[in-house]
Amino acid sequence: MKWNKIQKIGFVSAIAVLALGSTNLVSYAAPVFQATDADVGFKTDNDGTTDPLIPVDPDPTKPIQPDPNPKPTKGALRMDVTPSFDFGNNNKIKATEQKYYAKFVTGTKFSETEKTEFENYLQVTDERGGTKGWKVSVSNDGVFTSSTGDKIEGAAITLKDFSVYSGSNIKEPSMFPTVPTTAVTISDNTDHLLLNADTTKQQGYGIWTMPMGSVDHKTTGQGEDGLGTTGKIDETKAGRNPAVELKIPAGQIIQPDKAYKSVLNWNISDNL
């Protein structure tokens, strides 16, 4: 029976060891989690402005300074740059129908002082919030008038080679406003749609530029209209933008050394 006594003593000793060891165990509380909120709200800024940007691949952190400085409209939906067209003041008088092309926009890039050329372009900002849609149209009556009242009638300005770029890092092509795929002639004093943001396609929000033509494609100054590839170069028709054309019909009595002007009416509307 000695074995039984030893067995019992060993069992009691094991319990004593376990009891002694249990005094060194650490007890941890269960983790407790609590959720909180981070809130932010927005209001429409009707006094906001956007600097003129490079027409192709615009970057809001690198504005440009066009010459002359554009006159922007106001509001959360606005035209930052509406193009004026300079067809030159040294064109040769011809008694036949003639075509002239606009000079490219000149200005300085961000942090630069040297003048450079940019495409003739339109710039729109929509900061109303959401994608409410809008459209931009332009009209002209086809009449150019000098300071002394002399008139050129039946003139026609034709715009073409439109493209669209986002200045708000919008990448989805379906969200880009649309432009005409063919040339647009404005001379009948009616509105012609140039840039259209469709609210049903979630278009319009952000900064958009619409250049016409490209500084990489200029008139040669050769040929009758300055678009040829052979012949003598007429410097008054060289280096212009072929995407912005002015046609003067025959039969107009043109006075020399006078500046003729015509008004282009640009309209931005959310009345879709």
In a domain, 17, yes or no: no
Specify the number of domains making up the chain. Answer: 1
pLDDT at residue number 21: 53
Q: Mean of the pLDDT values across residues 51-76?
A: 95
pLDDT band at 26 (very low <50, low <70, confident <90, very high): confident
Q: Are 208 and 177 a contacting pair, CB within 8 Å?
A: yes
Whether 13 is covered by a domain: the verdict is no
Whether 145 is covered by a domain: the verdict is yes
pLDDT digits (tens, 9 = 90+) for 155-190: 999 999 999 999 999 999 999 999 999 999 999 999
Could you give phi then psi for residue 22, rounded to 5 degrees? -65, -20
Q: At 23, is the pLDDT very low, low, confident or very high (cuts 50, 70, 90)?
A: low
**Residue 79 placed within a domain:** yes
Mean pLDDT of 224-248: 95
Backbone angles phi, psi at 159, to 5 degrees: -115, 145
User: What pLDDT shows up at residue 29?
Assistant: 87
Whole-angstrom distance, CA of residue 48 vs CA of residue 263: 27
Q: For residue 242, what are the domain limits?
A: 65-269
Mean pLDDT, the chain, integer: 92
Q: Assess if residue 12 is contained within a domain.
A: no
Single pTM value for the model: 0.87
Is residue 27, in this structure, part of any structural domain at all? no
- Spatial separation of the C-alpha atoms in residues 266 and 78, rounded to whole Å: 11
Instruction: Calculate mean pLDDT across residues 85-89.
Output: 97
Residue 224 falls within a domain, yes or no? yes
Asked whether residue 169 is domain-assigned, the answer is: yes
In b/e form, how buried is each residue of 208-226, taking b as 16+ CB within 10 angstroms? Answer: bbbbbbbbeebbbbbbebb
Q: How many CB atoms lie within 10 A of CB 88?
A: 13
Would you state the structure tokens that stand for residue 93, as one six-digit string?
């008088």
| Confidence tier at 144 by pLDDT (50, 70, 90) | very high
Q: What is the pLDDT of residue 183?
A: 98
d(CA 37, CA 7): 64
